[in-house]
Structure 1
Amino acid sequence: MPRQGSRCFLVVRAQEWMCALSLEDVEETMRPLPVAPVSAAPAFVRGVSLVRGTPAPVVNLAMLLGGGQTQASAGRRFVALRVPEGRLALEVDEVRGLRWMEEEGLDSVPPLLRATASGNLQHMGSFDGRLLAILGTSRLLPEELWARLENPSREGGA
């Protein structure tokens, strides 16, 4: 049974990264859906997909965290997240399950890593003897990308 001061996270794997997403932000997990590419988007944005009838940007988590050092590959699962702008699909390799964690037991992000993932690393911890990155999901994409990603048909003057 969870204790006061603990939160529930969905633990996912994206290549070598183990990440925790606050369960409050997670809508659902699903098989990957078709993705329409969007020109001039950052490398970690695969494009846009229709998730339950609503356009949602698709972010490859391994590319977001690994930057240019990570090979792009289609993930095996999507995790639909609630974000201030609406919905976002996070592409991951594996959904590991739920885990309760004590907030006071989580470490701060070292200063050198604070800029990683556009500042979305909130805490660091461990999971099954591996490094665990706790992500803040509210700003995974810069605001200026949202309008273009939500309506890819406007790309190229169409």
Structure 2
Amino acid sequence: MAGIGHIDTPGSDASGQEFLVFTLGSEEYGIDILKVQEIRSYETVTRISSAPDFIKGVTNLRGVIVPIVDLRLKFRLGNVRYDHQTVVIILNVAGRVVGIVVDGVSDVLTLTGDAIKPAPEFGVSISTEHLTGLGTIDGRMLVLIDIERLMTSAEMALVEAELA
């Protein structure tokens, strides 16, 4: 498997929180950079017969079996294609390694608290319980996903949710 790159995660400070920005269709999304382990090119995975369509299968990443979720299918975006832009973001969530397939990764942005607004109750393709909010920077709007909450949700059945 050819790796695209490793993400340095210096952490966020009082001046803002860092988000990895990726695209799904025509929308830009952001996830907490501290959850990101690396970014890889998309490669064929081993399909699991009883898994939902959005779980593409599993792959072996340096000896670790990693489930791969296609967020484009999960969010019911039409016309899902796999090409040279398609990437897998490898995440560490709730002590588990999981990969998400996205159309592409554009950059890392730092958003301050006043640049993040509460999520609306309508008009997005993801349940608002999995959203951190909407971020705005330089005229761009990012849908900010609580990727840990999404990956540990019962519908995903990928990661055991921590019992409080």
Counterpart in the other structure of 2:91? 81
Report 1:1-158 matches (<5 A): 4-65=14-75, 67=76, 69-74=77-82, 76-112=86-122, 116-117=126-127, 119-126=129-136, 129-141=139-151, 142-143=153-154, 145-146=157-158
Q: After TM superposition, where is structure 1 displaced by more than 3 Å over at least 4 residues in a row? A: 126-131, 141-144
> How many angstroms apart in 1 are the aligned matches of 2:25 and 2:137?
15
1:53–1:34 distance in 2 versus 1, CA, 3 Å: farther
After TM superposition, the score normalised by the length of structure 2 is 0.74
User: More helix by proportion, 1 or 2?
Assistant: 1
Q: How many residues align?
A: 144
- Higher RCO by CA contacts (8 Å cutoff, separation 6 or greater): 1
1:20 touches 1:132 (CA, 8 Å); kept in 2? yes
SS in 1 for 2:147: coil
Query: Which stretches in structure 2 are left out of the alignment for 5+ residues?
Result: 1-11, 160-164
TM-score w.r.t. the length of structure 1 is 0.76
Seq. identity, %: 22
State the AA in 2 paired with 1:71: N
Residue deviations 1:22-50, cap 9 Å, x none? 11100011111331112232232211112
Retained in 2: the 8 A contact 1:74–1:91?
A: no
